Structure 1
């Protein structure tokens, strides 16, 4: 039997900070999106926290209002979601999403989810998570023992109650899970990828961690479900989108270099491809959204 303490070096022991929805990393057009739905985050428990980061709950009520398309640049991780909308109801395992995720919010609906750590779901289940990359499967197809869990979660009303139900389901299995040194290595690598903007190339990662490129690729295929190069680019694009939404960068060329791009043109092309609009257009949209909040 293992405890969360054995993962201390790879998993921060402090409670996971809960950023306000309007500045949450990965959410595109955060201020505009916050006008159409609510977002609550709750930390995972000590045992579940070995594999998962936080719970998140989104609710919207747009009855009598036009639908809204919410957009996200997702983290490179698996989410287990429980949803109830006017079009569907159920529980799903959502694999790593390598493109911009869009969701039309219409009428009244809600989603409650557990966000796993990068590599956490693969370590928890023993499955190669690349098998459901860019897709979602019903939760019982991956976790047969979860039969009835969706109904329990959706029958509760408060996010805290729902967290307790999901925690009870995952905690015992998490407590029994053995220490996985390969997973711990993936956690350390990914944490550095996310926080260190000087890491912009895969060869820098292999040098920093003294690991062969093929081993790194194999670890990411098994635990993450996407390659290390893509994970690096996703984190840097998330950084760029958040900085642009905050209105902080005054020099787009300098921002591109800070994010590890060869020049502004490379950053602009990749940003436009992934986000759907050029960086300056995205920044202007954030200014307009902020202005509309105060009118």
Structure 2
């Protein structure tokens, strides 16, 4: 990996967020990179509150935020994440690769899913006040524990993310040579959600990334492996809260007004 990913997958109205705060992704130390997507850093000073929405990845995050004495471990979010930012904003986050968090904690990752738990053994100021937040985050994480199952889980999720041809769990299990029940147990223990959930979430992420302006949603649905447009509309609306056409219209209006 030569740098952190640059897409905005999962961020609802990324332009609106980036117009108000500085948002950066940076890579951790080399020995941590196999297990982490990146660190994400947000800084800003808002004149008025701004509410941001994120369609979560199948990833665990460790988040440090000004005003909170301790960081929180945020398990995989099952619903739309909504947060209102106010005043001075400083956030330092760690996004683990799907499956990668298990290299740092012994519990099945499903135990964290849908939960936000303070990590009271760590002082948030240790990272938030650091001149070098990357080095501070590296130090907080320490060294990962080698586990071949972690490597397998990360590899399987990466395949789902990169291959739009992965549509059904049974077909995917057969292709990778893993029984369906074994695949489901692996994902529960190391990713925190089912393989079916991961497949659906990455399809919605892709649809969200393409949204904005004039989109042929019937063609998009076909390209993402949906049997028809209505199934894409249903998944998108259930996850994001509005339909794809309404979202595209809102993004286009926001961009045209410069807001």
Contact 1:189 1:205 survives alignment (8 Å): no
After TM superposition, what 4+ stretches of structure 1 lie above 4 angstroms from structure 2? none
Alpha-carbon distance, 1:251 to partner: 1.6
Counterpart-to-counterpart distance in 2, 1:41 and 1:215 = 34
Aligned to 1:8: none
Contact 1:129 1:225 survives alignment (8 Å): yes
Aligned to 2:41: 57
Contact 1:38 1:59 survives alignment (8 Å): yes
Contact 2:98 2:191 survives alignment (8 Å): yes
Q: 1:282 aligns with which of 229, 244, 247?
A: 247
* Unpaired segments ≥5 residues, structure 1: 1-13
Aligned to 2:2: 15
Q: 1:213 aligns with which of 177, 180, 193?
A: 180
Mapping for residues 184-203 of structure 1, pairs under 5 Å: 184-203=151-170
Counterpart-to-counterpart distance in 1, 2:240 and 2:141 = 34
Counterpart-to-counterpart distance in 2, 1:271 and 1:133 = 21
Counterpart-to-counterpart distance in 2, 1:75 and 1:250 = 23
Counterpart-to-counterpart distance in 2, 1:124 and 1:291 = 45
Alpha-carbon distance, 1:18 to partner: 4.1
Aligned to 1:263: 228
Contact 1:18 1:42 survives alignment (8 Å): no
> Is 2:132 the counterpart of 1:165?
no
Aligned to 2:203: 236
Alpha-carbon distance, 1:89 to partner: 4.1
Contact 1:16 1:53 survives alignment (8 Å): no
Q: Secondary structure at the match of 1:111?
A: strand
Q: Secondary structure at the match of 2:211?
A: helix
Mapping for residues 67-86 of structure 1, pairs under 5 Å: 67-85=49-67
Contact 1:51 1:124 survives alignment (8 Å): no
| Bigger proportion of residues as helix | 1
Deviations 1:235-268 (A, max 9, x none): 11000000013x4x64211101111212111111
* Unpaired segments ≥5 residues, structure 2: none
> Is 2:18 the counterpart of 1:44?
no
Aligned to 1:115: 95
Aligned to 1:91: 71
Deviations 1:72-95 (A, max 9, x none): 01110111110114xx44311110
Alpha-carbon distance, 1:181 to partner: 1.7
Mapping for residues 115-154 of structure 1, pairs under 5 Å: 115-140=95-120, 144=121, 147-148=122-123, 150-154=124-128
Counterpart-to-counterpart distance in 2, 1:68 and 1:231 = 29
Q: Secondary structure at the match of 2:9?
A: coil
Q: TM (normalized to structure 1)?
A: 0.83
The size of the alignment, in residue pairs, is: 259
Contact 2:69 2:125 survives alignment (8 Å): no
